[in-house]
Amino acid sequence: MWVTENVEFPDELVDAALNDELVLFVGSGVSLDAPANLPSYPALVEQLADEQGVDPPKPKTPLDGFLGNLQDRESAHERTLQMMSSTNADCNETHKAIMRIAHATKTPRIVTTNYDVLLEKAASSLSMDIDRIYRGPALPLGSSFDGIVHLHGDIHSRPDEIILDDRDYAQAYLLESWASRFLVEMFRHYSVLFVGYGISDPIMRYLTLGGISQDHPHFALSAASDKNKEEHESWDERGITTILFPLSSDASYEELPKALNSFADQLCDDYLTKKSRIERIVCSTPATITRDDRDFLVRALHTTEGIQCFTNNVTRQDNGSMQEWVLWLLEDPATSRPFTTSQALTDEELLLCRRVTDILASEKYVDTLCALLIQIQHTVGDRFFNGCFNLLIHECENMQGWAVKPLTVLLSSNLRKELDHAYYIDIKSLLSINFPIYLLSQFIFPVASYRQEANIEYSTVFWSAEIDDRHEDEPINDESIYFSDDFIEFSEYSIKQYSQYETVNKMSVVYRPAIEPHDQNQRHDETSSFFIEVLREYARYHADDNQAIAERWWKSGVPLLQRLSVSAITMSDRTADNKLSWILDKGIIVSIKKHMWLWHELMLLLHTSISEASPDIRGALLQQVQNININEAYNDSDVAITQYDMLDFMLKALPENSWQEASALAEGLARKYDYTPAENPDFLVWNYPIQCQPIQGIVDDKAFLAMLRNDPLHLLLLLTSQEDPWMINDTFSYQIPRLIGDDAQIGLTLWDLASSDHDKNLQLRAAVLSGWAYHKQSPTNLRSIVTRFNQLPRESTASFSDITIRLIHTQMEKADDVIPEDVLDWMDSFAATQWTERHVSFIAQNRADWENDPITLSLNCWPGELAWYWVHRIQYRKAHSSSNWSGFNEVERSALSQFAQAEGDLAFITHAPLLFNMNLLHELDNDFTEKIIPWMLQTDDTVIVWRVITQYHIQPNLRLMRLFFFKSLHCLLKKRLDADPRFIRGLMHIILRALNASDLTEAEKKELQQAVVNEPSHIAKVALIDCTVAQFTHADQTTRDPTWDIWLREYIHSRSRNIGTQWSNEERVQFSRLIPMMGNHIDEATQVLANRLPDYSDTEPYLIHQMFDVDVHISAMDEDNIKALLSFYSQLIRIPSIRNEISPREISQLLAHLKDAAAYSEYSELVQSAKDYDLYDLE
């Protein structure tokens, strides 16, 4: 990648920076230039030697060894720190450029052997926080670190801690090895870029002692000059790639900070920085673009924001410049892929393709689009083709003539591209703007899809695009645009293409039974139906002279066209003899068994023409009928039925006995083969309307009821003698219960009939009970049912226990009139007996399947149904008792106590109905209800209790909440709620209602808040704020405002202080959604976030859109909160993940909504931010 016109950084270095795998290794060369003006290592050595009155080292003398031999080493160390602490030294442009690169990476990592702290000064000048600064020998792990590492110490180190001479190096790199250990791990885990080093620097000698790992590529910046060639070779020998930068005319290093700054710009994710450079580049022309600008632009076009900047800017250029830049995209291999490949594209490539397509497929840029399509012609990629086609075809359908030219170019140079989704084309609109008909076949053509099952291959034929002109088979106007010669040719061609698949030929009579309009034509295939109908209507339009048309279609050999050919003859103005002669001459009748797809059209022609046919023609017809496939190996009866149906259909069009020869032949065939006239003999397949028929049993419903009424013993014999298990199941499980559900008296008759001794006695009575059990019975019928049930032996009733429980439950649940007292007594007794005899042995077979829905299980399991029975029984007694209600009676209390005290599987099923109805029961008898609720809470798992409550959004009344459910809820919140999100959300809805309730005390609400705060996971906390957002969305400001004062302020402040668990990013996202709806609390709410908005990169897009579509009441807000709201939206717009989701239209609507705040400077800042980020329509 060219970072300047003269400096190229390897792609591996760029990738390392982007992948957060780069370390910047900074040497003393960086601190030479003003205003740093610090000495290099050789200059430092000379100055120290001079101060100690020693001659400077001779050439090629190891400088670290020279310093190690100085008489006063301690003084040398102290003087070094003093010189490096010069107050006149300040960071230069190279220091700042290095820190800009560090700031642009995800994790800044800088290692330096310099003693100065000018890198820290550079960071401060850039308002960059460096959290960690290390000084040798106290170093971090080389495999994982961030911040600045002063490998050899810095000016804040003690003199004896810095590495200056050979003895220091030996200690750090050899004896104690703390420096070498750090570097070995660093080189193994990261790519390193050396800046400000020469190969002769002492550290390079020590680095090679441990070897430099080649797991990652490493690089060194070096001045490009002839005298440095040997140094470049030495870098390469150590496996370090040299990056050359030119010296300026005065041999200074000013090109180095330029290259580093440009690299930082490339890495920077700041939209405005990218935008500024892209604007400058696009204002010139591609022909004058420099290498570094080209590489910058290419990399920008592989990012979402870079694509947005580029496309926004090129649209502001004149058409000529626009065209140049678009063609540049195609000519550069690094940017042409979205437009020229049919392979999978990245998200960014898809965005670039879509944005460019959206711009070009418009009237303004029609010439540019045509030039582009001509440029790439046969190499147009699938995505670009489909994008252009989609936009242009819709413009054509909207009668926009300008779109014809580019669409013509697109289709002419790209033969039959596969469309990426179903298109419904309005052909009439295309023809109206003179769209070239010959190009229609480029996107409307049949496609076969094949699949194989059990060594059998199946094929399905569909159209690449569907024609959407006709949805009903109605006549076409004689002057229709469809009747041009070119379009008729296209229609014929399409039918031929469609019919090349064998499946179409075999199934055409099923898909399209009749060429003429007919109810049997279901029009499952609108496109082929369209072509058939256009050709048919064209033939009708030429009815006076369509022989040439019919002959052309017949000679095509295409079944559908041949059917159209026969239909054309039928519609023509020819005489009957002429029409029939045409059929006879073609030998269609004789060979009909081999061409059965012609059957309907042939039969229709014969039927409509025979009445006016001459005797000679009738004779010829009869002869051909008799000779149907006479020489073919067809079964006699198969041929005979064809002959019979043909004769019968012709005879139906004639007066009786008017064609005796044909009648005689037909009657002979009928006698020989026992034929009778068919209802629709002209159709090979007749599709009857689909109706949902009830399941029938041994006999159908009508016969069943007739036999029950007239011959019940015969019916009983049929029922008892049937052995087919499927027929038995259909009869006893479906038919009998259904008939009884319609008429309970049928059940009484069958019950009495079942008293006979036979093996299906119990099965029949169970079927009868099933019919009664699901329907409300009249008092008379109910008494009759109870009477018959009581007559059964006790051992027989056990077989019907479950269905009888369902019967009494249904009667009580649906009781809308008085139930006889004796029937009530029987039902109560039966219910009590069933519980007493069966509850001990009960086991729930499928409990695990219903852990999330105990209510539904209780409605489908006998213990649960008994519990529901008693709940409805109590309601019934209350509704039908006098006004003097005194609570539950002893029978009811006994039943409820048994259910409440149940354990295990029984508790899981019987507690659900009681918890579901706890408010009702408490209203009817508060003392007893308060007695049984603790029994259930002690027995049940807390989660199960709250699943019942939350499933149907039950809210325990205030007294029950205080007495029992506060404690239960606290117990639940102490668990880690990683369960079903729907359950957690239901739980938070209940808590939210409680927090907003006016009749709960502050202490109770605080206790509830604290329980949520201390809940071990963050899921419940996220759900609570999400529920609050949902409530605020549908509330006015008078409802929203008290929520903050009542509980939300204290709750959010506790979360922001990380009380309980860490305040997660997801919680902060949910809270930020509340801010626009906080009214006069917005300022305080934004301060809770410390003006640092959360990371929205993983936020669902619809949540982001909702933040910009909020009902904000500016008129009711004070000045500070209005300003806070405007600043909040300005911050949002600056976040890349937000900008990537919202559109200029949304921002424009927001600004229009906030227009009452236009007088504030914050509003102007918001508008300017929207403009800066291209999110506001300036028009």
pLDDT by residue (tens digit) across 809-860?
A: 999 999 888 899 999 999 999 999 999 999 999 998 888 888 888 999 999 9
Secondary element (H or E) of residue 453: strand 446-453
pLDDT band at 44 (very low <50, low <70, confident <90, very high): very high
> pLDDT digit string (tens) for 894-903?
999 999 999 9
| Parallel/antiparallel/unpaired status of strands 191-195 and 22-26 | parallel
Can you tell me whether residue 112 is helix, strand or coil?
A: strand
Cα separations (Å) of 368 from 97, 365, 375, 398? 41, 5, 10, 21
Under 8 Å between Cβ of 302 and 348 = yes
Q: How far is C-alpha 509 from the chain's CA centre?
A: 41
> pLDDT digit string (tens) for 541-574?
998 888 899 999 999 999 999 999 999 999 999 9
Cα separations (Å) of 148 from 57, 102, 143, 201, 743? 32, 10, 14, 21, 90
Tell me whether residue 1045 is in a domain: no
Tokens of 500: 């090349």
Indicate the residue type of 827: M
Tell me whether residue 521 is in a domain: no
pLDDT band at 632 (very low <50, low <70, confident <90, very high): low
Clarify whether residues 201 and 71 are in a common domain: yes
Least confident of 170-174, 594-598, 611-615, 694-698: 694-698
Clarify whether residues 281 and 395 are in a common domain: yes
Of 1068, 1070, 1062, which is closest to residue 1028 (Cα–Cα)?
A: 1070
pLDDT band at 502 (very low <50, low <70, confident <90, very high): low
Domain count of the chain?
4
Clarify whether residues 290 and 203 are in a common domain: no
> pLDDT digit string (tens) for 601-615?
999 999 999 999 999
Cα separations (Å) of 98 from 109, 148, 150, 478, 504? 11, 12, 15, 80, 71
Asked whether the predicted pLDDT for residue 680 surpasses 70, the reply is yes
Tell me whether residue 390 is in a domain: yes
The pLDDT score that the predictor gives to residue 390 is 92
pLDDT band at 984 (very low <50, low <70, confident <90, very high): confident
Asked whether the predicted pLDDT for residue 270 surpasses 90, the reply is no
Tell me whether residue 42 is in a domain: yes
Clarify whether residues 85 and 167 are in a common domain: yes
Clarify whether residues 259 and 286 are in a common domain: no
Calculate the average pLDDT of the chain.
89
- Residue range 252-276: mean pLDDT, rounded: 87
d(CA 834, CA 803): 12
Clarify whether residues 343 and 201 are in a common domain: no
Task: State the residue for tokens 């591996």.
Answer: 12
The pLDDT score that the predictor gives to residue 378 is 82
Asked whether the predicted pLDDT for residue 252 surpasses 80, the reply is no
Measured at the CA of 1155, the angle between CA 1154 and CA 1161, to 5 degrees, comes to: 90
111 φ/ψ angles, rounded to the nearest 5 degrees: -115, 135
The domain boundary, picked from 929, 960, 991, lies at 960
> pLDDT digit string (tens) for 462-487?
888 999 998 888 899 888 999 999 99
215: domain CATH number is 3.40.50
Asked whether the predicted pLDDT for residue 876 surpasses 90, the reply is yes
Q: How far is C-alpha 958 from the chain's CA centre?
A: 42
> pLDDT digit string (tens) for 135-153?
999 999 999 999 999 999 9
pLDDT band at 691 (very low <50, low <70, confident <90, very high): low
**Residues contacting 687, CB < 8 A, separation 6+:** 513, 520, 522
pTM: 0.69
Percent of the chain, pLDDT > 70? 96
Clarify whether residues 278 and 351 are in a common domain: yes
Clarify whether residues 259 and 273 are in a common domain: no
- Residue range 344-350: mean pLDDT, rounded: 92
Clarify whether residues 189 and 166 are in a common domain: yes
Clarify whether residues 228 and 304 are in a common domain: no
Tell me whether residue 371 is in a domain: yes
The pLDDT score that the predictor gives to residue 849 is 85
For residue 531, the 8-state DSSP code is: H
Higher pLDDT, residue 124 or 209: 124
d(CA 428, CA 442): 17
The pLDDT score that the predictor gives to residue 80 is 92
- Residue range 1143-1147: mean pLDDT, rounded: 89
pLDDT band at 705 (very low <50, low <70, confident <90, very high): very high
Tell me whether residue 173 is in a domain: yes
> pLDDT digit string (tens) for 877-915?
999 886 788 899 999 999 999 999 999 999 999 999 999
d(CA 973, CA 942): 10
- Residue range 63-85: mean pLDDT, rounded: 92
pLDDT band at 452 (very low <50, low <70, confident <90, very high): low
Clarify whether residues 247 and 288 are in a common domain: no
Tell me whether residue 980 is in a domain: no
The pLDDT score that the predictor gives to residue 1179 is 46
The domain boundary, picked from 960, 977, 1003, lies at 960
**Residues contacting 117, CB < 8 A, separation 6+:** 154, 155, 156
Domain that holds residue 953: 821-960
The pLDDT score that the predictor gives to residue 512 is 86
Asked whether the predicted pLDDT for residue 226 surpasses 80, the reply is no
Tell me whether residue 981 is in a domain: no
Tokens of 426: 């309005």
The domain boundary, picked from 383, 401, 421, lies at 421
> pLDDT digit string (tens) for 281-335?
999 999 899 998 998 999 889 988 889 889 988 888 888 888 899 889 988 888 9
Bridge partners (DSSP) listed for residue 458: 451
Under 8 Å between Cβ of 136 and 172 = yes
Clarify whether residues 118 and 199 are in a common domain: yes
Q: What share of the chain is helix, strand, coil (3-state, %, to 5)?
A: 65, 5, 35
